[in-house]
Amino acid sequence: MTATTRTRRLAKHAALVAFGLLLLYPLIWMLSSSFKPTELIFSDSSLWPREFTLSNYTDGWNALRIPFSTFFWNSFVVAIGSIVGNLVACSLAAYAFARLNFTLRRMWFAIMLATIMLPQHVVLIPQYILFSELNWIDTFLPLVVPKFLATDAFFIFLMVQFIRTLPRELDDAAKIDGCGWWGIYWRVIMPLTMPALATTAIFTFIWTWNDFLSPLIYLSTPENYTVPLALRAFMDAEGESSWGPLFAMSILSLGPIFGFFLAAQKYLVRGVATTGLK
């Protein structure tokens, strides 16, 4: 390796590190501000607090008359329900599109892909009317039940692409052993699609945990709020906010996302690579 090549690599890595720090600065600033007294958050621009306090975390945990653990629990219930729904329903739909021959399969697959381009706001009012007729408003059902109906076309497409990479000889061998379509799905396809399933679970968890619009539309009782709605509740009607407790609870709300992502990162990379979504 020549000196010029080494210098170029060093400069490239230095630029990447600088760019990474630039992207992380808002998060680092919020973490630092969560340990500052509220009156010093905007007057003290340093990343290291001159006055260190943990009161923002204790005050923020009980600032809304309801312990913040309630909002964490609500978000976990919605997120876990959504993950289970997407894994079951989307894998079944993907298996049908990738392996089964049925009438107008290509047309239905094209329609399914077209729904990816359909904005959520287009179906928001019809969905609200439907859920209102079912008396599901102010419950978690509108947030979870649709996931069991394979409504996330992106994950169906991702799994279809993954299943198509599996050799059909495995299906033929399973048929010789006496497996039907359901046996092939459960005993052959599902174990081999673990990377795609993990990718689906990670994205579902992150998107559901961060979702603000859907809980805002369907949930009205504070006891049913998810974490994003609870963070919004720190802002009063005049736009004033308890910034210290807000930043402290925001930092805590990022913990499950980071933990879930790190735990399944290996499967995420493998799933994205093998489905060609780079």
User: What is the Cβ-side half-sphere exposure of residue 158, based on CA atoms within 13 angstroms?
Assistant: 27
46 by Cβ neighbours in 10 Å (0-12 / 13-18 / 19+) ranks as: exposed
CA 273 to the chain's CA centroid: 19
- Are 276 and 195 in contact, with CB atoms under 8 Å apart? no
- CB burial of 11-30 (b: ≥16 within 10 Å; e: otherwise) equals eeeeeeeeeeeeeeeeeeeb
Domain 69-275 classified CATH 1.10.3720.10?
Answer: yes
Please list the pLDDT of the chain residue by residue as tens digits (278 residues). 677 778 888 888 889 988 988 888 888 888 888 888 878 888 777 778 778 888 889 888 988 888 999 999 999 999 999 999 999 999 999 999 999 888 899 999 999 999 988 888 888 999 999 999 999 999 999 999 999 999 999 999 999 999 998 998 998 899 988 888 999 999 999 999 988 898 899 999 999 999 999 999 999 999 999 999 998 888 764 456 678 888 899 999 998 988 888 887 777 666 555 554 43
- Are 120 and 212 in contact, with CB atoms under 8 Å apart? no
Domain spans, the chain: 69-275
Among residues 166, 164, 209, the alpha carbon closest in space to that of 74 is found at 209
Tell me the C-alpha distance between 12 and 67, whole Å: 47
The predicted structure's pLDDT at residue 109 = 93
The predicted structure's pLDDT at residue 207 = 93
Q: Tell me the residue type at 199.
A: T
The predicted structure's pLDDT at residue 260 = 83
- CB burial of 184-223 (b: ≥16 within 10 Å; e: otherwise) equals bbeebbeeebebbbbbbbbbbbeebbebeebbebbbeeee
The predicted structure's pLDDT at residue 3 = 72
pTM of the model: 0.86
Query: From the CB of residue 145, how many other CB atoms can be counted at a distance below 10 Å?
Result: 17
Among residues 262, 230, 260, the alpha carbon closest in space to that of 248 is found at 230
CA angle 149, 116, 263 (to 5 degrees): 70
Q: Where are the alpha helices (DSSP H) in the chain?
A: 3-33, 55-61, 68-99, 105-114, 124-133, 141-144, 153-164, 169-176, 181-184, 190-192, 194-210, 213-218, 227-232, 243-263, 265-274
